[in-house]
Amino acid sequence: MAHALIASPFLDGHLLLKPGARAGARISADHYEGLRQTATDGGSLPTWAVQTAADMWGLDLDGQTAQGTVLVREPSSYGYCRASWEINLGCNFGCKHCYLGERPFSGLAWEEKVRLLDIMREAGVLWLQITGGEPTMDPDFQGAYRYAWQAGMMLTISTNGSLLWRPDLLRLFRDCPPYRLVVSMYGASEESFDTLTQRRGAWKAFRRGMDAAREAGLPLRINVVVTEDNASEADEMAALAGEWNVENHAYTNMTPTIYGGGEPLLAQSATHLRQRKPFAGCNAGHTFFHADPHAKVSICKVGRDDQIDLMAEGIDGLTRLGAIADRLMLRTGGCEGCALSGTCRVCRPLAKHYQEAKAPLHSYCQHGDKENAS
Amino acid sequence: MTPPVPVTILPGPPTSARRAAPPVATVSITAVQDLDVIVESTECSCDAGDDNPH
């Protein structure tokens, strides 16, 4: 039976959530423990939970037992709250700017996917982004999605939208609502869209998928990807997303490929490049992590050095990730000895990535920016 | 010839770039109208990763 609510630890607190809902509630440790006990004992949902569900989401859960109504996530000693998973790098588009570079169609066998998701659940992952490649193309996508959802995760899918018209996918998202579907938009016309994605028919597939997803009322967000090929349509793309009443965000700065290639940078629109947000530290590797198609885990999508093979090491491999994160944040390599490191505001793994791609200094270093401007 | 210029070597970044967790509810129930505020915060998200369209 599908759960109506999720109660879960989250960082140093606790949350009460409705699967797929944008709104939630912070609850106290006492509330969480009480709910956990009630779910074990087979008691009725406590009054505060019934009231919160009514107030927050308009649910009528009066008289329901806690067990079966609330999925209570167990506390985890690993301390993670979020993860991303490239289920398969295979993709039906061939975008020029893609940071994945080569996109081999391969991933874990079904049993290993289940094991990875079990590890994520045990590690405390509450929000999971399933991405690709085009994730919905993976033969196990629907099974893995459903398994993760039933494990009490809030799911975000990053997709090109081209397959969202499929009835089986629409049924899946109706039965197990996602937290969000993030769809990339690569143009506002057939010509620019198909040129950037290097696939004839990509625009039509995107429109068909978006029409179906909007009609189904799915929680969409659009990533407007602005590159040289579609730069003249940047405003039109945002306007189209607005016309559809879908929240959207423009992405203009591309990243070198995960293999250190600078090709995506060549696809950028020079006139649309934006100054990078100052980096002020992050919890990569400590509260969130990234898994590639073969369950090789890194601190994030950018810092992929020193990957941990979760299929070989099991969940205890994650205990090494925090130290890896701290090491990757140190100024080494091209930044070693920089006299300006005290005022550096650039993510070190990101800088290393650009340096390996032999990108110009000003494209990743704010001090390089000043030098460039002077 | 240009005279030598004194340079101050500043300390590097801290060993750990971790941030503190956000405040949590301890005694009551607090509505969070937009969970993105906590999910996409730097406590559990990546500043650099959002530059990663694919």
Residues of A in contact with B26 (CB under 8 A): 28-29
Residue type, position A17, single letter: L
Q: What phi, psi does A366 have (nearest 5°)?
A: -70, -25
Size of interface A-B (CB pairs under 8 A): 158
- Asked if B33 reaches chain A (Cβ–Cβ under 8 Å), the answer is yes
Give the Cα separation of A300 and B20 in Å (integer).
Answer: 18
Give the Cα separation of A341 and A194 in Å (integer).
Answer: 43
Measure Cα distances from A80 to A37, A121, A299, B20, B21 in Å: 23, 9, 11, 14, 12
A16, A22, A52 member nearest B34 (Cβ): A22
Evaluate whether A40 touches A65 at the Cβ level (below 8 Å): no
- Identify any residues that bridge with A236 across adjacent strands, giving them in sequence order: none
A302/B46 CB distance under 8 A: yes
Tens digits of pLDDT across chain A (374 residues): 689 999 999 998 999 999 999 999 999 999 999 999 999 999 999 999 999 999 999 999 999 999 999 999 999 999 999 999 999 999 999 998 888 888 899 999 999 999 999 999 999 999 999 999 999 999 999 999 999 999 999 999 999 999 999 999 999 999 999 999 999 999 999 999 999 999 999 999 999 999 999 999 999 999 999 999 999 999 999 999 999 999 999 988 888 888 888 888 888 888 888 877 777 778 899 999 999 999 999 999 888 999 999 999 999 999 999 999 999 888 677 777 787 777 777 888 888 888 888 888 888 887 765 544 43
- Which of A292, A299, A165, A188 is CA-nearest to residue A244? A188
- Asked if A99 reaches chain B (Cβ–Cβ under 8 Å), the answer is yes
Residues of B in contact with A330 (CB under 8 A): 12-13, 15
Residues of A in contact with B28 (CB under 8 A): 28
Pairing mode, strands A154-159 and A127-132: parallel
Please give the residue of chain B at the shortest CA–CA distance from A256: B52
Evaluate whether A192 touches A239 at the Cβ level (below 8 Å): no
Residues contacting A178, CB < 8 A, separation 6+: A20, A155, A156, A157, A218, A219
Q: What phi, psi does A319 have (nearest 5°)?
A: -70, -15
Give the Cα separation of A116 and A112 in Å (integer).
Answer: 6
A311 to chain B, closest Cα gap in Å: 24
A76: its two tokens: 């985890």
B22, B29, B53 member nearest A48 (Cβ): B29
Residues of A in contact with B17 (CB under 8 A): 281-282, 325-326, 329
Residues of A in contact with B34 (CB under 8 A): 22-23
Give the Cα separation of A85 and A124 in Å (integer).
Answer: 15
Burial code of A193-202, b = ≥16 C-beta within 10 A, e = fewer?
bbbbbebeeb
Q: What phi, psi does A321 have (nearest 5°)?
A: -70, -35
**What secondary structure does DSSP assign to A244-282, as a single string?**
TT-EEEEE------TTS--HHHHTS-GGG--PPPPP---
- Which of A222, A293, A221 is CA-nearest to residue A258? A293
Secondary structure percentages of chain A, helix, strand, coil, to 5: 40, 20, 45
